[in-house]
Chain A
Amino acid sequence: MNQSNKINTFSISRLFVYTLLIIASFLSIFPFYWMFVMATNHNSAINNLPPAVIPGSQLVTNFTNVINTIDFFGAILNSLIVATFATAGTLFICSLAGFAFAKLHFKGKNILFIAILVTMMIPPQLGLIPQYIIITKLGWLNDLRAIIVPGLIDAFGIFWMRQYISSNVPDELMDAAKIDGCSTFRVYWNITVPVIIPAFATLAIIKFMYMWNDFLWPLVVLRDQSSHTIQVALRGLIDNYVRDNGMILSGTFWATVPLVIVFLLLNRLFISSLTEGAVKS
Chain B
Amino acid sequence: MAQIEMNKQTAPKDSPLSEKKKESFHGYLYISPFFVLFAIFGLFPILFSFYLAFQRWNGLGEMEFMGLQNFKWILTDPLFWKALSNTMIMWVLGTLPQLVIGIILAYALNSVLIKFKSFFRVSIFMPYVTSTVAVAIVFGIMFNSQEFGLVNAILGNFGFDPINWGSSEWGVKIAISTMVFWRWVGYNTIIYLAGLQGIPNDLYEAATIDGASIRQKIQYITIPMLRPIIILTVFTSTIGALQLFTEPLIFIGRTYREEGITVVLYLYREAFSNSAFGPASATAVILFGIIIIFSTINVIIANRLAR
- Is A2's beta carbon under 8 Å from chain B? no
CB distance from B80 to the nearest CB of A (A): 15
CB distance from A159 to the nearest CB of B (A): 7
Q: Which of A34, A124, A153, A264 has the most CB of B within 10 A?
A: A153
A130 in contact with B148 (CB, 8 Å):
no
Q: Which one of B12, B48, B123, B146 lies within 8 Å of A29 (CB-CB)?
A: B123
- Chain A contacts for B37, CB-based, 8 A: 149-150, 152-153
- B103-146 contacts to A (CB < 8 Å): 104-105, 108-109, 111, 113-114, 118-135, 137-142, 144, 146
Q: Which one of B22, B125, B137 lies within 8 Å of A249 (CB-CB)?
A: B137
- Chain A contacts for B186, CB-based, 8 A: 28
- Is A67's beta carbon under 8 Å from chain B? no
Q: Which one of B108, B129, B135 lies within 8 Å of A20 (CB-CB)?
A: B108
- Chain A contacts for B93, CB-based, 8 A: none
- Chain A contacts for B38, CB-based, 8 A: 119, 153
- Is A123's beta carbon under 8 Å from chain B? yes
B123 in contact with A275 (CB, 8 Å):
no
B139 in contact with A279 (CB, 8 Å):
no
A125 in contact with B125 (CB, 8 Å):
no
- Is A269's beta carbon under 8 Å from chain B? no
Cα-based distance from A188 to B31 in the complex (angstroms): 13
Q: Which one of A163, A185, A237 lies within 8 Å of B2 (CB-CB)?
A: A163
- Chain A contacts for B134, CB-based, 8 A: 234, 252, 255-256
Cα-based distance from A28 to B109 in the complex (angstroms): 15
Cα-based distance from A95 to B104 in the complex (angstroms): 38
- Chain B contacts for A159, CB-based, 8 A: 2
Q: Which one of A107, A235, A256 lies within 8 Å of B250 (CB-CB)?
A: A235
B123 in contact with A96 (CB, 8 Å):
no
CB distance from A88 to the nearest CB of B (A): 13
**A28-B186, A238-B253, A264-B122 are known contacts. Are A131 and B41 too (CB-CB below 8 A)?**
yes
- Chain B contacts for A256, CB-based, 8 A: 130-131, 134
B150 in contact with A125 (CB, 8 Å):
no
- Is B147's beta carbon under 8 Å from chain A? yes
A101 in contact with B49 (CB, 8 Å):
no
A127 in contact with B48 (CB, 8 Å):
yes
Cα-based distance from A106 to B146 in the complex (angstroms): 65
- Is B45's beta carbon under 8 Å from chain A? yes
- Is B96's beta carbon under 8 Å from chain A? no
- Is A129's beta carbon under 8 Å from chain B? yes
A278 in contact with B232 (CB, 8 Å):
yes
Of the 9-residue stretches A54-62, A196-204, A213-221, which lies at the interface with chain B? A213-221
A112 in contact with B9 (CB, 8 Å):
no
A34 in contact with B120 (CB, 8 Å):
no
What mask results when residues 1 to 34 of chain B are scored 1 for a CB within 8 Å of chain A, else 0? 1101101011011000000101110111011011
Q: How large is the interface on B (under 10, 10 to 19, 20 to 34, 35 or more residues)?
A: 35 or more
- Chain B contacts for A132, CB-based, 8 A: 271
- Is A5's beta carbon under 8 Å from chain B? no
- Is A93's beta carbon under 8 Å from chain B? yes
Q: Which of B130, B147, B232, B250 has the most CB of A within 10 A?
A: B130
- Is A226's beta carbon under 8 Å from chain B? no
**A93-B34, A133-B59 are known contacts. Are A122 and B46 too (CB-CB below 8 A)?**
yes
- Is B293's beta carbon under 8 Å from chain A? no
- Is A126's beta carbon under 8 Å from chain B? yes
B239 in contact with A49 (CB, 8 Å):
no
B124 in contact with A28 (CB, 8 Å):
yes
A238 in contact with B137 (CB, 8 Å):
yes
A96 in contact with B33 (CB, 8 Å):
yes
B23 in contact with A106 (CB, 8 Å):
yes
CB distance from B175 to the nearest CB of A (A): 13
A25 in contact with B119 (CB, 8 Å):
yes
CB distance from A140 to the nearest CB of B (A): 11
**A32-B126, A134-B41, A234-B134 are known contacts. Are A184 and B26 too (CB-CB below 8 A)?**
yes
Q: Which one of B12, B190, B239, B254 lies within 8 Å of A271 (CB-CB)?
A: B190
- Is B44's beta carbon under 8 Å from chain A? yes
Of the 9-residue stretches B71-79, B199-207, B282-290, which lies at the interface with chain A? B282-290
Cα-based distance from A107 to B142 in the complex (angstroms): 58
> Can you give 23 contacting A-B residue pairs, CB < 8 Å?
A25-B124, A46-B148, A94-B34, A106-B24, A106-B27, A116-B34, A117-B1, A123-B239, A123-B288, A124-B243, A126-B285, A127-B45, A128-B45, A134-B44, A216-B264, A231-B133, A235-B133, A238-B140, A259-B131, A260-B129, A274-B128, A274-B187, A279-B229
Other contacts beyond A28-B127, A231-B131: 17, CB < 8 A = A18-B114, A20-B105, A28-B186, A31-B127, A49-B148, A50-B153, A104-B26, A113-B4, A123-B291, A126-B49, A130-B49, A150-B41, A238-B253, A248-B141, A259-B131, A270-B125, A275-B190
Task: List residues of A whose CB falls within 8 A of some B CB.
Answer: 13-14, 17-18, 20-21, 24-25, 27-29, 31-32, 34-35, 38, 46-51, 93-94, 96-97, 99-101, 104-107, 109-110, 112-113, 116-117, 119, 121-134, 149-150, 152-155, 158-159, 162-163, 166, 171, 175, 178-179, 184-185, 188, 209, 212-213, 215-216, 220, 231, 234-235, 237-239, 245, 248-249, 252, 255-256, 259-260, 263-264, 267, 270-271, 274-276, 278-279
Ranked 5 nearest A-B pairs via Cβ: A127-B45, A106-B27, A130-B45, A100-B30, A130-B48
